[in-house]
Amino acid sequence: MRPRSSIGIGPAILLALWWLLKRTRWGMLVRAATENRVMVQALGVNEVWLFTSVFFLGALLAGLAGALQLPRESANLAMDLSVIAEAFVVTVVGGLGSIPGAFIAALLIGLVKAVCIGLGQVQLGSVVIAFPKLTLVAEFVVMAVVLAVKPYGLLGSAPAAPPTTPVTEHRALVRPPGRRSLITALAAIAIVALLPAIGDEYDLVLATDVLVFALFAASLQFMLGVGGLASFGHAAYFGLGAYAAALAVRHGVAMEAALVFAPAAALVGALIFGWFCVRLSGIYLAMLTLAFAQIVWSVAFQWDSVTGGSNGLIGVWPPAWLGGKQAYFHFTLCVIAAALIAIAWLAHTPFGYALRAGRDSRLRAEASGIDVRATQWAAFALAGAFAGLAGGLYAFSKGSISPETLAIPRSVDALVMVLLGGLNALVGPLLGAAAFIGLQDSLARATEYWRAGLGVAILLLVLVFPLGIGGAAQWLLARIRR
C-alpha cells in the first residue's frame, strides 16, 4: 500500500468511529454502560455481549493498524511491547474516551519526532545536542509534559467522583500476621537455607533470582495492593539501584557500601518522580510512571561514558567472601528475608492503614485528617528504595548490568509476578516470582516455543487462581480453619 493511501485511512477511521459512537444505538449503549453498567443491565441490555463487541472492534482495528505498519517495519517479536506502550501514550495524551483527542495526540507525537529528526545535531556553545536520539523517548516526554499541565489529557475530563473501593475487597491485608505466621515464615527461611545441600550450582542461581525478584515484586505489591498506586515503570527503581551499585564498585567502593548506594539512589529517584506521579490517579498515574521509566532507560542507553551505553557495565562481582554461589545465596536470603519482613511490618503499621484508607476512599481519608498525597508519596519512595535494593543484589549476582534492566519488559515481569502471586497476599510476591521464573526456565529449556508456552501457562494460572496463588492459599486456609 502506498504511503499516501495509508495516511488517508486514519481520518476515515476517526470519522467512522465518531459516527458509530455518537449516532448509533450501539454507541449510545456503550457510552451509557461506561458510565453505569448496572443501570444498563437493569434496562435489559446484555452488557457482557456489549463489551465483547467493543473488544472485538478494538482487536479488529489493532489488526488493521498492524497490517498498515508492515510496509514500514517487518513483523518481529519486539513489536508487542513497543506498540502497546505507544498506543497507551496516545490514548492518555489525548484523554481517555476521546477519539479526536487520540487522533490529535498521534499527530502531535509524530510531529515532535519529525522535528527531532529534522533538527539533527545542534551545537550550543560547547554542548552538542543530538535531537535524533530523543526520538527514543519523544512520546514519553510529550506525555509527561501534557499530564503535568493537563492531568486528564488534551481533550479528557475529570471523573465525576473519586473512585471508592469496597471495604470487603481488601480484607485479607487488614488483619496483621500473628505469632503463627512469624513462626511459619522463619521455618520457611530455614528450609530454603538448606537448598545448597540438595541442589546444584544452577539451582542456587535460579533460587537467587527468585529471591531478588520476590523483593522486586513485593515493592510493587506494596504500592499497588496497599497504596492503590498503579505503576507501569517500576523497573526504573530496580535499574537505578543496579546502576548505582555497579558504578559505586567501578569507583572503588566496597560491595557492602555499594548495596547502601543502591536503595539510596532509587529512593532519590522515587522521591523526584513520585512528587509528580501522586498528583494523578489510575491509568494517568501508571502511564506517567512509564514515561519517567523510559526517560531513565534512554539516559542509560545513550550515556556511553558513564553507563556504558547499550553494552552496559561489566565486572560487577561480589568480594571473595561472597564469591561462591552458596555464600552469595545465603547472603541474598538474609537480606531479602529482612526486607520482606520490613515490608510486611510497614503494611500493618498506622502508616500502612493510612495508605489503605486513601486507597479505599480519598475523600473519607482526608476528612479524617490523613494527608493522602504525602502518605502516597512516602509509600512511592519506600517502594522505590526496596526495588533499588533488589536491583543492587541482582547486579552482583550477574556480574554485569545493561539498559534492559530498566526496560518495559522488566516492569511487565514485576506486574505478572504480583498478579500471579496475589495482589493482597503477603506471600504473593514470593510465590509469583517462583512460579514465573520456574515456568520461564523450565519452558525455555524444553522447547524453542517457550514464549507461547509461558503465555498459555500464565493464562491458565490466572483462570484457575483469579485471586493469585497466594490468594487461593489464604482462602483455602480460611476454609480449613472454619
Q: Which of 222, 224, 371 is nearest to 286 (CA)?
A: 224
Measured CA to CA, the distance from residue 11 to residue 17 in angstroms comes to: 10
Q: What backbone phi and psi angles, to 5 degrees, belong to 423?
A: -65, -30
| Length of the chain counted residue by residue | 482
Measured CA to CA, the distance from residue 60 to residue 68 in angstroms comes to: 13
What's CA 398's distance to the chain center, in Å?
Answer: 22
Question: Which class for 159: exposed (0-12), middle (13-18), buried (19 or more C-beta within 10 A)?
Answer: exposed
Contact (Cβ atoms closer than 8 angstroms) between residue 167 and residue 360: yes
Domain parsing of the chain, residue ranges: 1-74, 76-157, 177-481
Which pTM value belongs to this model?
Answer: 0.85
Measured CA to CA, the distance from residue 126 to residue 107 in angstroms comes to: 33
Strands (DSSP E) found in 326-391: none
Model pLDDT, residue 159:
65
Measured CA to CA, the distance from residue 236 to residue 391 in angstroms comes to: 10
Contact (Cβ atoms closer than 8 angstroms) between residue 208 and residue 397: yes
Rg (CA), the chain: 24
Q: Which of 231, 338, 354, 343 is nearest to 288 (CA)?
A: 231
Measured CA to CA, the distance from residue 430 to residue 471 in angstroms comes to: 12
CA dihedral 193, 412, 224, 385 (to 10 degrees): 60
Mean pLDDT, 10 residues at a time, the chain of 482 residues: 67 89 90 85 87 91 84 74 81 86 88 84 71 79 85 77 47 61 79 83 90 95 91 94 93 90 95 91 88 89 85 88 88 93 91 91 89 94 96 93 89 92 85 91 86 86 84 75 66
Give 209-232 as a 3 state SS string.
HHHHHHHHHHHHHHHHHHCCCCCC
Question: Which class for 358: exposed (0-12), middle (13-18), buried (19 or more C-beta within 10 A)?
Answer: buried
- Residues near 433 by Cβ (< 8 Å), separated by ≥ 6? 210, 211, 213, 214, 216, 217, 417, 421
Measured CA to CA, the distance from residue 266 to residue 255 in angstroms comes to: 17
Measured CA to CA, the distance from residue 324 to residue 418 in angstroms comes to: 30
* Structure-block grid coordinates of residue 482: 472454619
Q: Which residue has the cell 516526554?
A: 141
What's CA 271's distance to the chain center, in Å?
Answer: 17
Instruction: Give alpha helix (H) positions in 70-178.
Output: 79-94, 99-119, 138-149, 171-174
Measured CA to CA, the distance from residue 300 to residue 137 in angstroms comes to: 12
Model pLDDT, residue 171:
46
Model pLDDT, residue 160:
58
DSSP state of 177: P
**CATH number listed for the domain at residues 177-481:** 1.10.3470
Contact (Cβ atoms closer than 8 angstroms) between residue 394 and residue 214: no
Q: Is 273 left (phi over 0), alpha (psi -120 to 50) or beta?
A: alpha
